[in-house]
Chain A
């Protein structure tokens, strides 16, 4: 009956029209980026603008140049490694913390949770001086873990916050208790109840955590000064700056390539994404 209702909906066509128009606005800049990556360096920011370049103008020269002259795959490998490690550490830290905050009997846990929330509220920039000092003391300069550990720490508050809400909403206490009755410990609850049920939320946080190293610039640039350790955003920015800020075609080619793993990761997890975000609500 519900299906019937939807099929006969008169609003269906207007919906598609509005959504498609909106989609155009959303993807035109991306399209322009991809097209520019196929054009000569000096054809990007010209006036009058060329919206629809002729096919003869397009070539894969920029990509060829990048793959031949820039150690792109090294940077990509570094970034993927950082991304995956960040995601994994954030999963471990935020699931255990979220479970603790949601369920376990730990003295002062509300205060700790409050601190974690306040980390989210604080503009991170001014913390860079003490954090860099910490990284230096821990011998994490020019060490890829100097980036991973701090990224994981920065994404943890939001991930924990979201997971805590998800566990409280979606995991009935009775399930914990049934494990206890069967003689299981809280380890079993964590392993067999919390993790499986919370996996959509874990997927949701992982998508944005995965994105982080593909986006973050300042910290990575400071920690990883050696070229062979650099992550993609730093490598792209450095390339841009070292080439007098005019080699747009190359920059866009690199950026387009860099987006592929992020889109792939999103597509891989996207079916969990929406359901995982349901905990994004505050009980006022």
Chain B
């Protein structure tokens, strides 16, 4: 029996070893491109078309796209940093830039002669997420911010009119929580999530020079915001897997008509369209200090571990991807352009009915601090805020602890 197994496997061995060991080397330049464009929204298909177009223009360059999820992108860069097992181009979250820069792997793209020309074509605010000191370590790929999505059917059924202030959002959430429906969903408790509510009421996370969190994250404004969320959670009007792992995920919950409102990005439009949800969206209704949403989006990053020829070819590709044509094509599949011309393009606007809403929100959206330890800091905030919202810790106590822990990280 074992002989049989051996023969079979030896056969498989000889036939498959060829697949396993083929090594592609040649004079032409092959660029490895890690990205997290979504496949279901058709973004991967558009990307492939764009790559074909680029390769037709640059015959010696081959782009090899590799899809990776958000966390996998981060894991892969962390693991490969030391030995230089890195891509030539990466398109990922704007929050990755300071973290990857702390690993000493990013190429200072502002050293390219034409960086300023390329950067001038894109919006300044999203591109500032690449700036550390006076240098740039990437260029914006696409931008986004969060706007308030609401399920029109649920609002009608509950007789709730569309909120015009942040306070009305919270009262509406209470009213909408009826008949097994839940008024508001917030999947996480980081600044990505609670930041807009804090900023819209005039609060902030850190001092402007990032020196301390005391007097900011534990200010009375923040405590008030978290207390409001805590009361909503206690009333069953606020749900989310990070506060309650048993809660239905936001995408599934929207699809089944469980959740009535959520502050979310362009992907929510895509998933709601796919699930035939009767929805509409508006900029976040203003708090006492206006309507300040959070700036999101993705950047293109290049790596200092690539060969110089590859870096130059990669830079050409990145310029191609941030130019009007590619940006309009990506807009058609839900990526908000950063290219100024593309933003005004009729085709792009037609493809994204919510573009004007996002544009309004973007005008006042705020970026999260661009510091290497941000991921660690946001984790502290998410943890303490979750403890406060779920009522396991007094809100003021939780936020005071939060400030102390953040200060320790800042001092490190």
Contact = CB atoms under 8 A, between A and B. Distances in A.
Contact, chains A and B (beta carbon distance below 8 A) = yes
A244 B271 contact: yes
A46 B256 contact: yes
A155 interface: no
A81 B39 contact: no
Contacts of B72: 221, 241
Contacts of B275: 42
Contacts of B83: 132-133, 136-137
- Contact-residue size bin, chain A (C-beta under 8 Å from the other chain): 35 or more
- Grouping DSSP codes into helix (H, G, I), strand (E, B) and loop, the B interface class, with mixed when no group exceeds half, is helix
Interface string B1-40: 0100010110011001001110000000000101000111
Interface in A200-241: 202, 221-222, 225-229, 238-239, 241
A84 B13 contact: yes
B20 A133 contact: no
Contact of B255 (A42, A87, A145, A222): A42
Contacts of B19: 77-78, 81, 144, 228-229
Contacts of B12: 80-81, 84
Interface stretch (B62-70, B306-314, B401-409): B62-70
A244 B66 contact: no
A242 B72 CA distance: 12
A85 interface: yes
A133 B82 contact: yes
Interface residues of B, number: 40
Contacts of A263: none
Contacts of B76: 222, 225
A237 to B, nearest CB: 8
B252 interface: yes
Interface in B229-272: 249, 251-252, 255-256, 267, 270-271
A80 B9 CA distance: 9
Nearest to A206: B5
A225 B66 contact: yes
A246 B252 contact: yes
A143 interface: yes
Contact of B16 (A81, A129, A226, A246): A81
Could you say which of A47, A80, A81, A137 has the most chain B C-beta atoms within 10 Å of its C-beta? Answer: A81
Interface string B144-174: 0000000000000000000000000000000
Interface string A126-143: 001100110011000101
8 contacts: A78-B19, A88-B6, A144-B21, A222-B75, A225-B76, A244-B38, A245-B249, A246-B271
Interface of B: 2, 6, 8-9, 12-13, 16, 19-21, 32, 34, 38-41, 44, 64, 66-69, 72, 75-76, 79-80, 82-85, 249, 251-252, 255-256, 267, 270-271, 275
